Amino acid sequence: MRYLILKITCISLLFAGISANMDLLADSDVTFSTNFESGAAADLKVRQDGSIEFSIPPDPGGDQYLWFYFQVISKKKEPHRFILKNATGAHQTGKRWNITKPIFSADGEKWVRAQKVQYARQVSISDMSIAKVFRFQSPIIAETLYVAYSYPYTNTDLRDYLGTICIDQSVEITKFGSTEEERPIPLLQIDSPREKKIWIIGREHPGETPLSFVCEGMIQALLDSPAGWKLRQSYGFSIVPILNVDGVENGYYYHNTGGVNLARDWEEFSSQEVQSLHSAMLHDIENGRLKLIVNLHSSNDPSKGHFFLRIPENKLSADNALLQKRIFEVAGNYHPQIQGRSPVTLYDLPGITGNALNEKYGVYCLYLESNYSRGADGTIPDPQSWHAVGEALVKALAEVLLSE
């Protein structure tokens, strides 16, 4: 009886535009690889209908997953179609898949977003189950095709970028510690001898790649723009573009190699990365030099653009509550994709970077969540617009901090 019901359901769902899971091909002329920096995917297979099915592997130590990045080599002369079969369990997704448009490249440098996407039910005949899957199609045809959740930004990309700015006399590039896998954690300092300091932290969560382009935009604005120059007359900057170096290297989404969420490790300090960062910041904190921390993250909320996380005012000092309010008020004036006046309250959970540093030291942490897929004005972000968001944030900081 169960088989009969499933069979009838399968037929009706097919007519409703919902696909049945066909048998997978054991052999094909398609090959796959994740054997490169930040590569991540599992169970890559070609189905009988020619589409490519895959899943996202979980991180060490947690069930959060979202990041995928893989290579397809094929002589197929039509666009590849893809099915992400464990989309339902991905981190903070659900309806967010409806705005998600993965990206494609023939050379790993020039990327194009998918246009055809669908988050819908699929019936599996082999195990008699129904589940939602995420379907998307490549807009380009190439013998070698790279596929990613969003624009990749690897440790190599960061090294290449730092190489373009290292000749600036106001810039010092060094390291402040090592990861669990003994990789150095880079530190960029701009005009560090200034009396007051601002720290910028990125990639606590390694799969949140848009923030790296925002970070580049901030750095470039600090070095080149009038607002950046004015800020640097009063503030030195210590910038950690990628804290979770191992996670970026290994294609993780939310954790480090030891399975630790670095964004929630600021009470236990169980990771080498957060231990090292805390030690590096402590001198500025204890000397009263640290004015502000900018903590960059990324999200995929369909109802927002790039938005801020708000620490409740009753948990902040009066000065920091006013600082937070003023930044939220002015930031949206500098870029239409920033949703400055509608912040989301930061989770009141132990060990979160901003909560822990505020409670222990009275240091304010400004959170910006750059959106993978949607700006506040409805436009679709890309590396150029994320760069512009970084520049806008520098302008907002200059307006607020220099008027105090």
Which of 180, 208, 369, 391 is catalytic? The answer is 369
> In the annotation, is 369 catalytic?
yes
Exposure class string for 335-370: b at 16+ Cβ within 10 A, else e: bbbbbbeebbebeeeebbbbbbbbeeeebbbbbbbb
DSSP secondary structure code for residue 97 in this structure:
G
d(CA 297, CA 208): 6
d(CA 324, CA 29): 56
Closest C-alpha among 83, 99, 103, 100 to residue 145? 103
DSSP secondary structure code for residue 376 in this structure:
T
Distances in Å between the alpha carbon of 65 and those of 41, 139, 149, 381? 11, 25, 11, 22
d(CA 43, CA 231): 49
What one-character-per-residue DSSP string does 185-250 give?
EEEEEESTTSSEEEEEEE-SSTT-THHHHHHHHHHHHHHHSHHHHHHHTTEEEEEES-S-HHHHHH
| Residues recognised as catalytic | 369
